[in-house]
Amino acid sequence: MSKSYTDFTKIQFDKELETKNGILTAPEESQNYGVRENLGLQDYGSKYKTSRFCGCCYLKDKSRKDIFRQDGKREVFSIRKSRFENKGSGALINMLDTIASDEEFDEYLCMDLPEGERLITYFFDEDLIFADEITKDNKMLTYISFIHLVLNSTKCGLMSKMIKRSENLNGKVRGKIDMKYQISKNIMRGRKDRIYCKYSEKSVDILENQILKYALKIIGDSKIAALTNQQRSISILKRRFSAVSDKTVTPVEIDRIILPSMYQNYRSMFQLTKVIISDISMYTTERGSKKGLVPYAINMPLLFECYVRTIIKEKIKEINNNDKINYRIEMKRFVPNKTGKNYNESYGCVMSTNDKCYIHGLLVPDIVLAYYKKESEDNAKPFFYRVYDVKYKKPCESTGIRNDRLQLLAYCFMYGVTKRDNIVIPDIDDKPGINDTHWYSGLIFPSQPSTCSDNIVINRENDNVYYHQVFIDIKDKGNINSDFNWLEI
């Protein structure tokens, strides 16, 4: 496979790849972050800059045609590492594996959103990428995506169809009497208690479900599945598919499937099924032993946000189970579209929905924690809020500082965090002169070496307001501060 790059990094391609049409780059303001423009590649003068996506695709020129190397092979554009991994790799798979156990994982996938805004975007309409090696990361990505697509698509029941059946019933008629077999099977043999009938019934034991069950069996039997947090999800799906008979399926049978219009949401699921049945991200072709990978893109800022949510949830469970603490914490649910999709007033923020107002719509923070008294009733209001804004960026970066500051201040005002000494940002590094009880709202970054000095905001009253930053290790959640004292009051 061609050279692999890192996200949000300036890069330079070999001169042999420069074509007369130039390399395709994404517009500065793209609705889907330019996910189909070489994974959001940005034009950076004499160089290029990778964007928010880790993934793999064929490198394209500005006419959207594949770029070929001098040896006649298509150039593969691969971004497989986070820029916060100084040595080695593994952050991506660690974060994916961690959030896969979260009860909100189906929402994290954001499958209802456009390409680029989803957690994982597959390019099923593009050619498979052939490589000498398909890594464990790619296989696990396929597993996790498929399992939760099936979970989400079948939560209201399996696909069913009307099928015709014939049966020799005992003393009752169902549907119509099949006179041909009634005469030959019953009347000619003097079996007056039997009636041979043909009828139609709704059944889930159909080829479509048999294909899905077979793919789930492949995943369940694999060694990789045992290394992930997917066993509970696989057990749930086994129960759902218990009425479906076992069948060994080939990729050719999947190609014959014609989905009814009401099941068009199954399309991506069956495309992944074909990849799995063809030996997990491998596709047997005339190219011999080479393996094919479906081009894909992973939204790294969204992945990091979901990872942080899962990590904090684990700590919240410990706090809520501690009898010495007289309050409980609830994390407000994940909202895929931060401008108000699936809006619910119980989320805690009410803004104008009148589109005639200039400032209208809904603004939802990344993470909102509501604190309740343990003895309070279920419908009681929180006595305390914490708001966190998750940033997949370096805290000392010069870009976006003003927007980040205004964004956090807006969140604080939305939740009544308007007192001067409460607008602070938590950090795992202790700073002198800071009262822990004032840690109210904050920014969260991936863990990294920092050369920042004390974080300070000076207001008109000349009172210094310190703020801190929380750093989260993305390669090993075991390295994260186990105390999480910035969650407690």
Q: What is the pLDDT of residues 39-91, one digit of tens each?
A: 999 988 888 999 999 988 899 999 999 988 888 888 888 887 888 776 556 78
Arithmetic mean of pLDDT over the chain: 75
Overall average pLDDT of the 413-430 stretch: 43
- Strand ranges, E, within 271-404: 291-293, 296-299, 327-331, 367-373, 384-390
Check residue 467 and give its pLDDT.
52
- Confirm if 39 and 77 have CB atoms less than 8 A apart: yes
> Rounded CA gap, 405 and 419, in Å?
16
- How many CB atoms within 10 Å of residue 408? 22
Q: How many CA atoms lie within 13 A of 256 on its CB side?
A: 8
**Three-state secondary-structure class, residue 75:** coil
Pairing between β-strand 441-446 and β-strand 384-390 as defined by DSSP bridges: parallel
pLDDT in tens, 315-370: 899 888 888 888 888 898 888 776 554 445 445 454 555 566 665 666 778 888 88
How many helices (H) and strands (E) in the chain?
Answer: 11, 20
Predicted TM-score (pTM) of this structure: 0.76
Check residue 446 and give its pLDDT.
66
pLDDT band at residue 16 under the 50/70/90 scheme:
confident
Check residue 153 and give its pLDDT.
82
Exposed, middle or buried by CB within 10 Å (0-12, 13-18, 19+), for 66? middle
Contacts 24+ apart (CB under 8 A), 196-199: 196/166, 196/167, 196/168, 196/169, 197/166, 197/167, 197/168, 197/169, 197/173, 198/164, 198/165, 198/166, 198/167, 199/164, 199/165, 199/167, 199/174, 199/175
Report which of residues 181 and 437 the model is more confident about: 181
In the chain, the N- to C-terminal Cα span, in Å, equals 51
**Following CA atoms 13, 16, 20, 26 in sequence, which dihedral angle do they give, to the nearest 10 degrees?**
-20
Check residue 224 and give its pLDDT.
61
**Three-state secondary-structure class, residue 237:** helix
Pairing between β-strand 296-299 and β-strand 120-122 as defined by DSSP bridges: antiparallel
Phi and psi at 274, nearest 5°, equal -65, -40
pLDDT in tens, 200-219: 888 999 888 999 999 888 88
pLDDT band at residue 419 under the 50/70/90 scheme:
very low
Check residue 50 and give its pLDDT.
92
pLDDT band at residue 429 under the 50/70/90 scheme:
very low
Left, alpha or beta for 72 (phi > 0: left; psi -120 to 50: alpha)?
left
Residue 287 reports pLDDT greater than 60: no
Check residue 420 and give its pLDDT.
31
pLDDT in tens, 108-162: 888 778 888 889 888 888 887 876 545 556 677 777 778 878 887 888 889 888 8
pLDDT band at residue 229 under the 50/70/90 scheme:
low
Check residue 424 and give its pLDDT.
29
Please give the share of the chain, as a percent, with pLDDT higher than 70. 72
Pairing between β-strand 76-81 and β-strand 4-6 as defined by DSSP bridges: parallel
pLDDT band at residue 302 under the 50/70/90 scheme:
very high
Check residue 461 and give its pLDDT.
47
Q: Which of 28-32, 124-128, 183-187, 383-387 has the highest mean pLDDT?
A: 183-187
> Rounded CA gap, 431 and 446, in Å?
19
Residue 454 reports pLDDT greater than 60: no
Overall average pLDDT of the 254-268 stretch: 79
> Rounded CA gap, 287 and 268, in Å?
25
Helices (H), 203-289: 207-221, 223-227, 231-240, 251-255, 267-277
Exposed, middle or buried by CB within 10 Å (0-12, 13-18, 19+), for 443? buried
Q: Does an H or E element contain 47, and which?
A: strand 47-49
Q: Does an H or E element contain 469, and which?
A: strand 469-472
